[in-house]
Amino acid sequence: MRQVDILIAGGGMVGAASALALANLGLTVLVFEAQAPEEFDATQPLDLRVSAISQASERLLKELDGWQGVESMRSAPYCTLETWEWQGANIVFDAAELQLSHLGHIVENRILQLSLWQTLRRHPRIELLTGARPQRYWQDEQGVYAELDGQFYQGQLLLGCDGAQSQVRQQAGIGVSGWQYRQHCLAINIRTEAPQQSGTWQEFTPTGPRALLPLAGQHASLVWYDSPQRIAALKRLPLPELKQAIVAAFPERLGEFEIERFASFPLTRQHAKQYYKDRVVLLGDAAHTINPLAGQGVNLGFKDVAMLAEVLADALQRGESLHSSKVLGRYQRFRRPDNLAMQSAMDAFYLMFSNDHMPLKVLRNLGLTLAQNSGPIKNQVMKYAMGL
């Protein structure tokens, strides 16, 4: 029986950040991850899965010594975020209004995971087990356990950072609520004629938003939300016809481009009914998934990491058991309402803009115009979205 303080299922962005945060508290950590991130090669095509990393997440990652790898590889800072439905009724968030250099960074998920792993591999209190997932997890009064290829592992806590289909959550018997939205998403990586862009933008249409996320160099990610049938039809098009469809659907500001690669995925909302059960704790997508409308998904996961580290640090200082309901209840009490509020806000935007009713169109465009001219209120919204 191999004994450590913390077992972590999943070494993705949230799992890796959790390992570093808890190891920095002096705890011994073992991470199970079936597939290690591919090493960086500047000639590789950019990944389709990207995240908008907020200022607060960036600050956490710097504290964990997990950000400098991103800076040495590739990312794209963005300084403005613009949203509109009707031209002239747009809202623009600008870092300059808050005297900041940028609002955040668009980073490929694999690049961020790899940056964290570079630090994980050097940390004396962290052990990585790759190549397979544990066959089962269970717990009793003495600890929580995992079995992998006939070897047994024991910890005080098991963190479920293993994604939306979390095996940890299922084996712990924690239920979820949620639904699939009536839209799918097509992510398209393009090479642009323009140099690297410094702003991200999103245009709302009755069938779903169209967005651009800047990527490193002369690259960008287009995000096209539409009905599952429409997205499936777009995926079947030859590249020249897909490009014609993009030109017709996206605003003219897109400019000249060439398609590099694309993929689609469904949009789902899911929320665990509880964030812990005895010695099992859920973080990131294992606890909550959200409409990607504002790119807040992984930022919520990093907030989970920061709060769990905070409550466990307090428990260690007080001499409390890490698995006590008093300790883990504090984590759930702080994080579950905040995640629920962000899910509900994204749903409100989704419902407000996913229709073609003229009275609602007038109302929502008036709302965007008022928000653009709200001064301090707009700045507070921007700070909240950035986690500041």
* pLDDT for res 319: 96
* pLDDT for res 130: 95
Distance in angstroms (rounded) separating the CA atoms of residues 311 and 288: 20
* pLDDT for res 247: 97
DSSP string covering 104-125: EEEEEHHHHHHHHHHHHTT-TT
> 82 in a domain, yes or no?
no
* pLDDT for res 293: 67
Whichever domain contains 259, its CATH number is: 3.30.9.10
Percent above pLDDT 90 for the chain: 73
Q: In this structure, are 169 and 191 located in the same domain?
A: no
Asked whether residue 311 carries a pLDDT value surpassing 60, the answer given is yes
Residue 29 tokens, joined = 């950590």
Q: Considering only residues 92 and 283, tell me which one the structure prediction assigns the higher pLDDT.
A: 283
Distance in angstroms (rounded) separating the CA atoms of residues 254 and 194: 9
Range of the domain at 159: 2-75+106-178+269-353
Q: In this structure, are 284 and 247 located in the same domain?
A: no
In the chain, helix, strand, coil percent, each to 5?
A: 40, 30, 30
Domain's final residue, options 268, 291, 318: 268
Residue 362 tokens, joined = 């007038």
Q: Considering only residues 386 and 163, tell me which one the structure prediction assigns the higher pLDDT.
A: 163
Q: In this structure, are 115 and 226 located in the same domain?
A: no
Q: What residues have CB less than 8 Å from 21, skipping those under 6 apart? A: 64, 305, 306, 308, 309
Mean pLDDT, residues 88-111 taken together: 87
Asked whether residue 145 carries a pLDDT value surpassing 70, the answer given is yes
Q: In this structure, are 64 and 154 located in the same domain?
A: yes
Q: Considering only residues 196 and 301, tell me which one the structure prediction assigns the higher pLDDT.
A: 301
Domain's final residue, options 222, 247, 268: 268
Vertex 266 angle, CA 263 and 268, to 5°: 145
Bridge partner residues of 227 (DSSP) = none
Which amino acid is present at 322? L
Distance in angstroms (rounded) separating the CA atoms of residues 177 and 268: 11
Q: In this structure, are 168 and 193 located in the same domain?
A: no
Kindly tell me the burial class for residue 169, based on how many C-beta atoms sit within 10 Å of its own C-beta (0-12, 13-18, 19 or more). Answer: buried
Asked whether residue 61 carries a pLDDT value surpassing 60, the answer given is yes
User: Where residue 57 falls among pLDDT bands split at 50, 70, 90?
Assistant: very high
* pLDDT for res 362: 56
> 89 in a domain, yes or no?
no
* pLDDT for res 369: 59
> 369 in a domain, yes or no?
no
Q: In this structure, are 294 and 348 located in the same domain?
A: yes
Mean pLDDT, residues 218-244 taken together: 96
Q: In this structure, are 45 and 161 located in the same domain?
A: yes
H helices then E strands: how many in the chain? Answer: 11, 21
Q: In this structure, are 65 and 143 located in the same domain?
A: yes
Asked whether residue 377 carries a pLDDT value surpassing 70, the answer given is no
Helices of type H across the chain:
13-23, 55-63, 68-72, 109-120, 167-172, 228-236, 239-249, 297-318, 325-353, 358-372, 376-386
Q: What is the mean pLDDT of the chain?
A: 90
Q: Considering only residues 332 and 344, tell me which one the structure prediction assigns the higher pLDDT.
A: 332
* pLDDT for res 374: 60
Distance in angstroms (rounded) separating the CA atoms of residues 9 and 284: 12
> 95 in a domain, yes or no?
no
> 83 in a domain, yes or no?
no
> 388 in a domain, yes or no?
no
Domain's final residue, options 268, 298, 315: 268
Whichever domain contains 154, its CATH number is: 3.50.50.60
> 379 in a domain, yes or no?
no
Coil/strand/helix, residue 197: coil
Mean pLDDT, residues 304-318 taken together: 98
Are 134 and 87 in contact by the 8 Å Cβ rule? The answer is: no
Mean pLDDT, residues 136-146 taken together: 96
Residue 164 tokens, joined = 């939306």
Asked whether residue 327 carries a pLDDT value surpassing 70, the answer given is yes
Asked whether residue 138 carries a pLDDT value surpassing 80, the answer given is yes
Q: What residues have CB less than 8 Å from 313, skipping those under 6 apart? A: 25
**Segment 171-229, tens digit of pLDDT:** 999 999 998 888 899 999 999 998 888 899 999 888 888 999 999 999 999 999 999 99
Q: In this structure, are 128 and 213 located in the same domain?
A: no
HSE-up (13 A, CA, CB side) for residue 271: 16
Q: In this structure, are 135 and 199 located in the same domain?
A: no
> 85 in a domain, yes or no?
no
Residue 96 tokens, joined = 């300059």
Q: In this structure, are 226 and 290 located in the same domain?
A: no
Q: Considering only residues 267 and 70, tell me which one the structure prediction assigns the higher pLDDT.
A: 70
Q: Considering only residues 113 and 360, tell me which one the structure prediction assigns the higher pLDDT.
A: 113
Q: In this structure, are 165 and 45 located in the same domain?
A: yes
* pLDDT for res 140: 95
Mean pLDDT, residues 113-135 taken together: 96
Domain count, the chain: 2
Distance in angstroms (rounded) separating the CA atoms of residues 374 and 369: 9
